[in-house]
Amino acid sequence: MITRNQASLVQLACNRKVTILLSFQFILCQGIMTSSRHTNSKRIEGLDKNVWVAFTSVAADPTIVNLGQGFPDIPPPAYVKEGLANAAAVDKLNQYTRGFGHPALVKALSQVYGKVYGQQIDPFKEILVTVGGYGSLFSAMQGLVEVGDEVIIIEPFFDCYVPMVRMAGAKPILIPLRVKTNIVSSADWVLDPAELASKFTSKTKAIIINTPNNPIGKIFTRDELQMIADLCIKHDTLCISDEVYEWLIYKGHQHIKIATLPGMWDRTITISSAGKTFSVTGWKLGWSIGPEHLIKHLQTVMQNTLYTCPTPLQEAVAQGLLRDYELMGQPDCYFSSLAVELEGKRDRMAAILQDVGMSPIIPEGGYFMCVDVTSLNQDLSHMGDDEPYDYKFVKWMIKEKKLAAIPVTAFCGDASKKQFEKYIRLCFIKKDSTLDAAEAILKNWNS
Amino acid sequence: WKLFDVSWSTIHCKLISYILIMSRQLHARRIEGVDKNIWVEFTQLAADYQVVNLGQGFPDFSPPSYIQEAFCKAVNGGCSMHQYTRAFGHPPLVTILAKFFSKVVGHDIDAFEDILVTVGAYQALFCTFQALVNEGDEVIIIEPFFDCYQPMVKMAGGKAVYVPLRPVRGKALTSADWVLSSEELASKFNSRTKAIVINTPNNPLGKVYKREELQLIADLCIKHDVVCISDEVYEWLTYDGAKHVKIASLPGMWERTVTIGSGGKTFSATGWKVGWAIGAGHILKHLKTVHQNSVYHCATAAQEAVAVGFQREYEHFGTPESYFLQLPERLQHKREKLAACLESVGLQPVLPEGGYFMIADISSVKVDLNDPSTQGEPYDYRFVKWLIKEKGLATIPVSAFYSPEHSKDFENYIRFCFVKEDSTLSSAEAILRNWSNGK
């Protein structure tokens, strides 16, 4: 690490040789000491890579048609924006609110979910407001998952589950959804019951489920959830149910909360997101709902991590929820009207892909669609061998075709990469002009 | 009959499940011993009783109008204001923070490498401890300390090592009279010391560390190769011409310091929860790893508004239009008002050189604390609760800011927040006068 320049300095200054030598040694030692001692803590070892950090900056280029990261480019409903502007105009709503959730918000959540669950939900003891669904996942892991525990994760999974489990010092146990021969819809991806049962051991602390699933769009049926519930009860494990896309359910399907199955309320944390519910991902508000004896541990994590979420945003979400609560079951309710709007986009996206010879997996819910790109026959051997095919494909497609997607192997473990490496994920909660632009790129693929 | 069968099996299932659930340890060990929290306890109390609230540290006046306007503008801005922004900090915000603080620190700060935006300074502290502290590492905490440092160190598996500020004998009239013993401080450093946490201006005392005091700490950090975590959320609030010095600007310190700041305290908008950590990239990258695995993004619109606020302050820096000059001027007057009031009723305030708070010695006050619900609690906790319930005035007990080892020595102080409208301070004054007059 001694550069030529630094060595020359030492040579030149004869009468201040000692001082410079000492200073130089000091700087050198600083450099060595800095790099060897101030390293990361063990808990985050190997957790620095992240698919979003890798792909979102690339897609920030405005010339790229971005069907990658999951956020709308359509505006949120006007009353939601107004709610925020109104909240920010009230002095005390610019100051700290209750740590575990702004009272107006937890009360509104208690009303809405009380209706959905068909039971009373205590706003102060059975709800925690967090920084997005992400923050709820983190609070649940940190609060409930111990070093040495095992946590079952179903592939493909929202990518943060594995690093969060690892950061809690636990071991992720992966089980893939497997597909029958003709893949038409996300319903064709199912768990093998015997395989699932084999994953439960005495070390299993929890299973994470995500319904509707990101990236596939699968909605777990009542029977599938019952199978999981039976195992949870048999092995006395917890269930962390990520239901951020709970309202984005397409015709002919029903979202079922595993927490409503017999014996499951007491062992389930259910996670939701204001960002996904109201098309405001940039508000970063979510919540966990569950029994007091579990939620209290998430609250402990909250009070030792960020203490409270932003006040005006919580107030605005509360107002939005109350408005839609009154309309629940009616077509005007945003929870249903958004799903209707997105179903149209889903169908359009599917048609675009089918028209160019690809086979999309039609999602039953959520706002993503996965598609097998094999039929495009894109030769990427020039890109080397160190990444799965889908990573190479997406990087190539962003660069050459100006269309961004997300590689599906980002959502699975190493052992399953071969199973998923021909799939890419497209987000369709985009305005028509964005979908038009994507269509144009795909139609002109071979030109 | 069939219906009854179904109901019974549901009840049976629920019962078995409940019994099973209760028979295994649910919570992770990392949260053991960190479940109590004074804010949760005392904000609830203040909410339950109709109080004049000089307890929790937030202003009861509004943020400056230009920043409220900036927030409104962001809310009514394009679609992107309501969707995810860059995970480690909204580009306009990190850019202006880098520009602004490069000037203050005297070092070229890279907006994308050296800054992480967090959900309040609180989350910046969390990221720092989680990123750097391993099981068994020691972290030096100077007492009195903002209470969250201790549970955060504990949750990261670290061991807190305490060194107290002590009032110079015979003085203790201002926070400047509370000092560290250099020998005592030096004795706390050893090969297991990973970091030291300093807070200047200090909460609850209001001490603003002088350059020589920071140099003492810096010398030890360099000698023992320790990271300095510098909580500077009240950096703009100094009084009587006291100067806030950034330890990161001392020689040899930039590469080993994480400096934490708060949009909430800077712009009197604590409910926005926008904070940041600034430091050398090789350390900040580890905080980013924690951040991307815990919350990942912070709210976009609030970051946009804080960016606009800093841009305006950059343009008005050092001029009378600067909020960073106007606010401390306003607060200086409130500080005098409260101090005078406390003295006049026989409480002995410690005049703070900076920050939001003033502590006062309650030794001379004799009260019959016969509330059975507070039996066994430290004296200042009992006193504060009595003051809330009987007099309708909320404060915070200062022993909450001390380690278990030393808290017994500081049960005779309570903390007042004076960042309140004059009318609030006058109401507090009325309560105290009535009480002292025996009403």
Chain B CB within 8 Å of residue A148 CB: no
Task: Tell me if B271 and A40 make a contact (CB, 8 A cut-off).
Answer: no
How far is residue A136's CA from residue B91's CA, in Å, rounded to a whole number?
A: 26
Nearest-Cα distance to chain A for B387, in Å, is 22
Lowest mean pLDDT among A177-191, A372-386, B11-25, B48-62: B11-25
Which of A54-68, A386-400, B16-30, B208-222 is predicted most confidently? B208-222
Which residues 334-373 of B have a C-beta within 8 angstroms of A? none
Task: Tell me if B83 and A305 make a contact (CB, 8 A cut-off).
Answer: no
As a whole number, the mean pLDDT across chain B is: 93
Q: Which residues of B touch A96 (CB under 8 A)?
A: 43, 56, 58, 270-271
Chain A CB within 8 Å of residue B39 CB: yes
| Segments making up each domain of chain A, as ranges | 44-74+333-444, 78-327
Q: pLDDT tens-digit profile of B135-170?
A: 999 999 999 999 999 999 999 999 999 999 998 877
pLDDT band at A385, cuts 50/70/90? Answer: confident
pLDDT score of A413? 95
Residue B30 scores a pLDDT above 80? yes
Task: Tell me if B155 and A304 make a contact (CB, 8 A cut-off).
Answer: yes
Q: Which residues of A touch B21 (CB under 8 A)?
A: 236, 266-267, 293
Which candidate, A89, A78, A74, places its Cα nearest to that of A315? A89
Contact A130, A269 (CB under 8 A): no
The amino acid at residue A223 is D
Q: Which residues of B touch A39 (CB under 8 A)?
A: 286
Q: pLDDT tens-digit profile of A78-129?
A: 999 999 999 999 999 999 999 999 999 999 999 999 999 999 999 999 999 9
Task: Tell me if A305 and B29 make a contact (CB, 8 A cut-off).
Answer: no
Q: pLDDT tens-digit profile of A134-187?
A: 999 999 999 999 999 999 999 999 999 999 999 999 999 999 999 877 778 999
Q: What is the pTM of this model?
A: 0.92
Distances (CA, A) of B262 to B94, B121, B274: 13, 5, 6
User: What is the spatial order of strands in the sheet that A423-427 belongs to?
Assistant: A359-361, A368-372, A423-427, A406-407
Q: Which residues of A touch B288 (CB under 8 A)?
A: 48
Lowest mean pLDDT among B51-60, B117-126, B165-174: B165-174
- Nearest by CB: A142 against B30, B81, B87: B30
Distances (CA, A) of B299 to A281, B263, B274: 8, 13, 8
Q: pLDDT tens-digit profile of B56-77?
A: 999 999 999 999 999 999 999 9
Residue B427 scores a pLDDT above 90? yes
Chain A CB within 8 Å of residue B32 CB: no
pLDDT score of A384? 87
pLDDT band at A60, cuts 50/70/90? Answer: confident
Q: pLDDT tens-digit profile of A218-257?
A: 999 999 999 999 999 999 999 999 999 999 999 999 999 9
- Report the percent of chain B where pLDDT is more than 70: 94
What tokens appear for A349 in the block? Answer: 């996206």
Contact A259, A241 (CB under 8 A): yes
pLDDT band at A4, cuts 50/70/90? Answer: very low
Which residues 54-93 of A have a C-beta within 8 angstroms of B? 56-57, 69, 71-76, 81, 84-85, 88-89, 91-93
Which residues 131-160 of B have a C-beta within 8 angstroms of A? 131-135, 148, 151-152, 155-156
Q: Which residues of B touch A28 (CB under 8 A)?
A: none
CA A241 to chain centre: 12
How far is residue A258's CA from residue A227's CA, in Å, rounded to a whole number?
A: 10
Q: pLDDT tens-digit profile of B245-267?
A: 999 999 999 999 999 999 999 99
How far is residue B258's CA from residue B255's CA, in Å, rounded to a whole number?
A: 9
The amino acid at residue A336 is S
Average pLDDT over residues A280-296: 97
Q: pLDDT tens-digit profile of B164-185?
A: 999 887 767 899 999 999 999 9
Nearest-Cα distance to chain A for B196, in Å, is 13
Lowest mean pLDDT among A383-392, B23-32, B243-252, B328-337: B23-32
How far is residue B389's CA from residue B373's CA, in Å, rounded to a whole number?
A: 12
Chain A CB within 8 Å of residue B20 CB: yes
Task: Tell me if A262 and B21 make a contact (CB, 8 A cut-off).
Answer: no
- Nearest by CB: B21 against A94, A138, A266: A266
Residue B2 scores a pLDDT above 60? no
pLDDT score of A243? 98
Lowest mean pLDDT among A117-131, B41-55, B127-141: B41-55
Residue B328 sits at the vertex; the CA angle it makes with B275 and B358, to the nearest 5 degrees, is 85
Q: Decide the pairing of beta strands A423-427 and A406-407.
A: antiparallel
- Report the percent of chain B where pLDDT is more than 90: 84
Superfamily of domain A44-74+333-444: Aspartate Aminotransferase, domain 1 (3.90.1150.10)
Q: Which residue has the higher pLDDT, A61 or A403?
A: A403
Which residues 94-113 of A have a C-beta within 8 angstroms of B? 94-100
Chain A CB within 8 Å of residue B65 CB: no
Average pLDDT over residues B285-303: 96
Q: Which residues of A touch B276 (CB under 8 A)?
A: none
pLDDT score of B285? 96
Q: pLDDT tens-digit profile of A11-33?
A: 444 445 445 444 454 445 444 44
A372: helix, coil or strand? strand
How far is residue A364's CA from residue A254's CA, in Å, rounded to a whole number?
A: 9
Chain B CB within 8 Å of residue A30 CB: yes
pLDDT score of A7? 42
pLDDT band at A35, cuts 50/70/90? Answer: very low
Q: Which CATH architecture has domain A78-327?
A: 3-Layer(aba) Sandwich (3.40)
Counting one residue from chain A and one from chain B, the pairs whose CB atoms sit within 8 A come to: 256
User: Tokens 């006395």 appear where?
Assistant: A236
As a whole number, the mean pLDDT across chain A is: 91
pLDDT band at B279, cuts 50/70/90? Answer: very high
Which residue on chain A is closest to B39 by alpha carbon?
A99
Which residue on chain B is closest to A70 by alpha carbon?
B84
What dihedral do alpha carbons B131, B133, B134, B135 form, nearest 10°? -130
Which residue on chain A is closest to B59 by alpha carbon?
A95
Helix axes A17-37, A4-12, angle to 10 degrees: 150
How far is residue A87's CA from residue B114's CA, in Å, rounded to a whole number?
A: 33
Instruction: Classify residue B393 by its DSSP letter.
Output: E
- Report the percent of chain A where pLDDT is more than 90: 82
- Nearest by CB: A95 against B29, B82, B270: B270
Distances (CA, A) of A1 to A5, A26, A36, A38: 11, 13, 14, 19
pLDDT score of A38? 80
pLDDT band at A34, cuts 50/70/90? Answer: very low
The amino acid at residue A342 is L
Chain B CB within 8 Å of residue A263 CB: yes
Q: Which residues of B touch A75 (CB under 8 A)?
A: 79, 82
Nearest-Cα distance to chain A for B3, in Å, is 15
How far is residue B277's CA from residue B76's CA, in Å, rounded to a whole number?
A: 28
Chain B CB within 8 Å of residue A313 CB: yes
Cis, peptide link before residue B91, omega less than 30° from 0: no
